Amino acid sequence: MSINRLQRVLKRHSYLFALLLLVVALLINFSLQANLFALTTINRNLANSLPLMVLVVGQTVVIIGGGIDLSVGAIVTLGNAILATRIAADASPGDIGLAILLTCGAGLLAGVINGLCVAYLRLQPLVTTYATSFIFSGVALLILPRPGGDVTRDLRTLYLSTPGGIPFTLWMVLLIVVIWLLARGTRYAQFLFATGGKPDAAYFTGVPVNFVRFSTYLWSGLFGALAALALTVSTRTGSPHVGDSMTLQSVVAVILGGTRLSGGQGGVVGSLIGVVILGVISNIISFANVPSWWQTLVNALIIIGALVGPGLVRLARKAVAR
Amino acid sequence: MSAVDLSQNNTSNGSGRLSFMRRLSPPVLALILAVILFFAGGLVNPNFVSVTSAINVVRLAAFLGIIAAGQTLVILSGGEGIDLSAGGVVTLAAILVFRLTNGENNMVPVALLVALSAGAIIGFVNGIGVTLIGIPPLVMTLGMAGVVSGTILVVTGGQLSGKTPEIMAQWISDPLVGGIPGVVFFWLLLSGVMWVVLERSTYGRQLFAIGVNRLAARLSGVRVQRVVILTFTLSGLLSALGGFMLLGFSQIVFLNLGDPYLFPAIAAVAVGGTLLSGGKGSYWGTMSGALVLTLIDSLLTAMRARIPELGEAHKLIILGVILVILLSFYGRQRSVRQ
């Protein structure tokens, strides 16, 4: 009875396991790094993590809708290239606004291409978005062939500021959470979860399955562009491979956060926790003085342990039931 | 005219040429495309159409094709099957052979055996994780890829000392008989073995069965978990074999030797008409897919040599567009309306 109830709660709040993991990881990190919860440390860590936190929003929506987007890293690179070439050191607010609009437009266009291919041409998402990632990286390379750019310092100052004693980046994270919680109550969200969970049943009950699938890639394109904005503002430069590593990281963070790859379940809050966990793990490794050659392995083992965790719990429960 | 014929006419209405192309089997279509691409290369660069360059393209495709063999099996097994640890295993196998032989010809068999065992063990662990613990293949193998590259760093400490035995270059990448390198003959041999395994063995029948419908396969007596574990083990083994072959070509190892082959191998499987949802496909398809992808790459390189304005950026864009077009020919999935 109580186990059943626990299962129900876990199913409704898929991020609970991630939250538990986060608490443990934070405690370990705190024991190694006493100033972890100081404002400056939080600000620095969040400044590093925010681009990926923005990026996982789109990836989560796509995965809930039953797809996957392996082009998000390339979209970040594309956005980074546009922003780095468009925003100069002495850029006026008008220039900056235009550059941001252009970047969001490019991200949405990339999303339209992915969405058309996956939803209407019915191509397999994994290979298709891998293929389109070449197109986006290519365009990024056309715009910015060599690393460069000198994005205005003002934006970085704003990015690192602490309005009301709370880091600007934390405000942004809170904004994402609030938007997600509001969005979850809408009809669109119902359609999204239905499309990812049981597309056939959803179709027969009148859900515009193809349109919902299409729209998920618009979200990942838009949030890819916004992630590029966060990244470019904090690094102040552009680089042709800057987004490459973010694609698989975004997928790992989404899964760590309790969203299943099979779709129809999960949420953005878990994915955000997933990103924080990834950051805390790398923090722990650098503060625990792990020899540098061991870092990759330790990192991979911890992540695999975190991913295996829920599966082991399931296995144990099955064994007990027997 | 039966009702079935009518409905087929309806679906292909207005796109006669497309429906004709779809009626060709994907491997044949990919092969035709490969031949067209090869001669199209002649328009760009007359030197491209020659026996030497044809042999070179097939040689490059052979490495990709061998690495993609295991991926074909895993994808055929269905259940979102994919092996993202293949790139890491390729690197690991090459490094193992590089270090263990240290240039000694008579150490090659032992080193090959160690490399294949390592690949098989990694694949076996993947299989256990996917079946017994119930981790999605993408997640399990992605995690494993990290563990493998982490282990490589720990063991080597970044110092990749060793030497490739001369015999490997002679037998694998240098011309063996009639100007054709050994790896091409080996690829043909492997394709024969893969055909027997897929089309004429109990394992092959069970693999297709679990790829189509796991529940139905289980109810008709297939031990699904056992077949999945075996499939991942074979995938690890074949990736290690690919790493061994690749070492014979590259002669040196580096820490991400196998990574550039991971996604092209998956793309080769998809372009060859194997359904990524499993249960339908062939190794012939993967072979033609590997040929097409290698040709596109060589062609774009040849074009760049001819047209200086064409940069890396254009190459990437063209490659992406061609991949999407190829996938849209036969990589299409079922519509929700059906």
User: How many Å apart are CA A220 and CA A232, to the nearest integer?
Assistant: 18
Q: What is the pLDDT of residues B222-237, one digit of tens each?
A: 999 999 999 999 999 9
pLDDT at A322: 65
Q: What is the mean pLDDT of chain B?
A: 86
Distances (CA, A) of B325 to A127, B11, B329: 12, 19, 7
pLDDT at A12: 66
Q: What is the pLDDT of residues A184-229, one digit of tens each?
A: 999 999 999 999 999 999 999 989 999 999 999 999 999 999 999 9
Is B234:B70 a contact under the CB 8 Å cutoff?
Answer: yes
Degrees to nearest 5, angle at CA B318 with B315 and B320: 105
pLDDT at A298: 86
Q: Which of A127-136, B52-61, B97-106, B235-244 has the highest mean pLDDT?
A: B235-244
Q: What is the pLDDT of residues B285-335, one digit of tens each?
A: 999 999 999 998 888 888 877 777 777 888 889 888 988 888 887 666 666
Contacts of A53 (CB under 8 A, 6+ apart): A173, A176, A272, A275, A276
How far does the CA of residue B317 sit from the closest CA of chain A (Å)?
A: 4
The whole-number average pLDDT for the span A247-258 is 91
According to DSSP, the residues that pair with A266 across neighbouring strands are none
How far does the CA of residue B106 sit from the closest CA of chain A (Å)?
A: 32
For B274, which DSSP code?
-
In this complex, do A117 and B328 lie within 8 Å of one another by their Cβ atoms? Answer: yes
**Minimum-distance CB partner of A297 among B151, B276, B314:** B151
User: How many Å apart are CA B27 and CA B329, to the nearest integer?
Assistant: 12
Indicate whether B10 pLDDT > 60.
no
| Closest chain A residue to the Cα of B317, Cα to Cα | A135
| Closest chain A residue to the Cα of B311, Cα to Cα | A142
Q: What is the pLDDT of residues A150-190, one digit of tens each?
A: 888 889 999 999 898 899 999 999 999 999 999 999 999 99
pLDDT at A286: 85
What is the CATH code of the structural domain delimited by B25-330?
1.10.3470
In this complex, do A126 and B276 lie within 8 Å of one another by their Cβ atoms? Answer: yes
Mutation target vs B (from A63, A260, A307, A317; most B CBs, 10 A cutoff): A307
Torsion, Cα of A26, A32, A34, A37 (10° steps): -20
CB contact burial A36-58 (16+ within 10 A = b; e otherwise): beeeeebbebbbebbbbbbbbbb
Token pair 């809408």 is found at A186
**Minimum-distance CB partner of B143 among A126, A298, A304:** A304
**Minimum-distance CB partner of B154 among A131, A133, A294:** A294
Distances (CA, A) of A103 to A77, A160, A243: 11, 22, 15
Mutation target vs A (from B126, B156, B323, B328; most A CBs, 10 A cutoff): B323
| A146 CB neighbour count, 10 Å cutoff | 9
Indicate whether B12 pLDDT > 50.
no
Is A169:B302 a contact under the CB 8 Å cutoff?
Answer: no
pLDDT at B8: 39
How would residue B1 be classed by pLDDT, with cut points 50, 70 and 90?
very low
pLDDT at A7: 67
State the maximum Cα–Cα separation within chain B, in Å, rounded to a whole number. Answer: 70
Is A117:A127 a contact under the CB 8 Å cutoff?
Answer: no
How far does the CA of residue A147 sit from the closest CA of chain B (Å)?
A: 14
pLDDT at B7: 37
B 149-178 residues with CB < 8 A to A:
149-151, 153-154, 157-158
pLDDT at A79: 97
According to DSSP, the residues that pair with A148 across neighbouring strands are A238
Where are the alpha helices (H) located in chain B, listed in sequence order? Answer: 3-11, 16-23, 26-44, 51-76, 86-101, 108-131, 137-156, 166-168, 182-200, 202-212, 214-219, 224-250, 259-271, 283-306, 312-330
What DSSP letter does each residue of B87-154 carry, written as one string? HHHHHHHHHHHHHHHTT-GGGHHHHHHHHHHHHHHHHHHHHHHHHTS---HHHHHHHHHHHHHHHHHH
Q: What residues of B are in contact with residue A313 (Cβ under 8 Å)?
A: none
The whole-number average pLDDT for the span B240-246 is 96
Mutation target vs A (from B83, B133, B152, B280; most A CBs, 10 A cutoff): B133
Is B182:B171 a contact under the CB 8 Å cutoff?
Answer: yes
For B47, which DSSP code?
G
Q: What sign does the dihedral B164-B167-B170-B171 (CA atoms) show?
A: negative
Q: What residues of A are in contact with residue B334 (Cβ under 8 Å)?
A: 122
Where are the alpha helices (H) located in chain A, listed in sequence order? Answer: 2-12, 16-32, 39-64, 72-86, 93-115, 125-143, 153-160, 168-183, 187-197, 199-204, 209-235, 246-256, 268-287, 295-321
**SS3 state of residue B177:** strand
Is B324:A131 a contact under the CB 8 Å cutoff?
Answer: yes
**What are the backbone dihedrals phi and psi of residue A274, each rounded to the nearest 5 degrees, phi first?**
-55, -45
According to DSSP, the residues that pair with A238 across neighbouring strands are A148
Shortest CA distance to B121 belongs to which of B151, B98, B101?
A: B151
According to DSSP, the residues that pair with B177 across neighbouring strands are B180
pLDDT at A309: 73
Indicate whether A244 pLDDT > 70.
yes
Is B98:B164 a contact under the CB 8 Å cutoff?
Answer: yes
For the whole model, what pTM was predicted? Answer: 0.87
Q: What is the pLDDT of residues A14-60, one digit of tens each?
A: 778 888 889 998 999 998 888 888 888 899 999 999 999 999 999 99
Contacts of B186 (CB under 8 A, 6+ apart): B62, B66, B172, B245
In this complex, do A134 and B323 lie within 8 Å of one another by their Cβ atoms? Answer: yes
In this complex, do B332 and A122 lie within 8 Å of one another by their Cβ atoms? Answer: yes
| Closest chain B residue to the Cα of A209, Cα to Cα | B336
Mutation target vs B (from A260, A292, A293; most B CBs, 10 A cutoff): A293
Token pair 């980074």 is found at A80
Task: Output B158 or A250, whichever has higher pLDDT.
Answer: A250
Q: What is the mean pLDDT of chain A?
A: 90
Q: Does B331 touch chain A (CB under 8 A)?
A: yes
According to DSSP, the residues that pair with A123 across neighbouring strands are B332
In this complex, do B149 and A117 lie within 8 Å of one another by their Cβ atoms? Answer: no
Indicate whether B171 pLDDT > 90.
no
Q: What residues of B are in contact with residue A200 (Cβ under 8 Å)?
A: 336
**Minimum-distance CB partner of B327 among A131, A133, A200:** A131
Q: Does B134 touch chain A (CB under 8 A)?
A: yes
How far does the CA of residue B284 sit from the closest CA of chain A (Å)?
A: 19
According to DSSP, the residues that pair with B181 across neighbouring strands are B175
**Minimum-distance CB partner of B331 among A127, A138, A140:** A127
Q: What residues of B are in contact with residue A248 (Cβ under 8 Å)?
A: 142
Shortest CA distance to A67 belongs to which of A179, A248, A215?
A: A215
**SS3 state of residue B175:** strand
Mutation target vs A (from B11, B139, B154; most A CBs, 10 A cutoff): B139
pLDDT at B197: 95
User: How many Å apart are CA A173 and CA A178, to the nearest integer?
Assistant: 9
User: How many Å apart are CA A59 and CA A243, to the nearest integer?
Assistant: 14
Task: Output A114 or B263, whichever has higher pLDDT.
Answer: A114
What is the CATH code of the structural domain delimited by A46-287+295-308?
1.10.3470
Domain boundaries, chain B: 25-330
pLDDT at B236: 97
How would residue B336 be classed by pLDDT, with cut points 50, 70 and 90?
low
pLDDT at B51: 86
Q: Which amino acid is at B204?
A: G
pLDDT at B2: 38
Shortest CA distance to A12 belongs to which of A269, A250, A253?
A: A269
pLDDT at B277: 84
* Percentage of chain A modeled with pLDDT above 90: 60
**Minimum-distance CB partner of A124 among B143, B158, B331:** B331
Indicate whether B13 pLDDT > 60.
no
| Closest chain A residue to the Cα of B150, Cα to Cα | A297
Shortest CA distance to A86 belongs to which of A153, A135, A144, A133?
A: A144
Q: What residues of A are in contact with residue B335 (Cβ under 8 Å)?
A: 122
Instruction: Establish, for the pair of chains A and B, how many residue pairs have beta carbons separated by less than 8 Å.
Output: 151
pLDDT at B271: 87
pLDDT at A221: 98
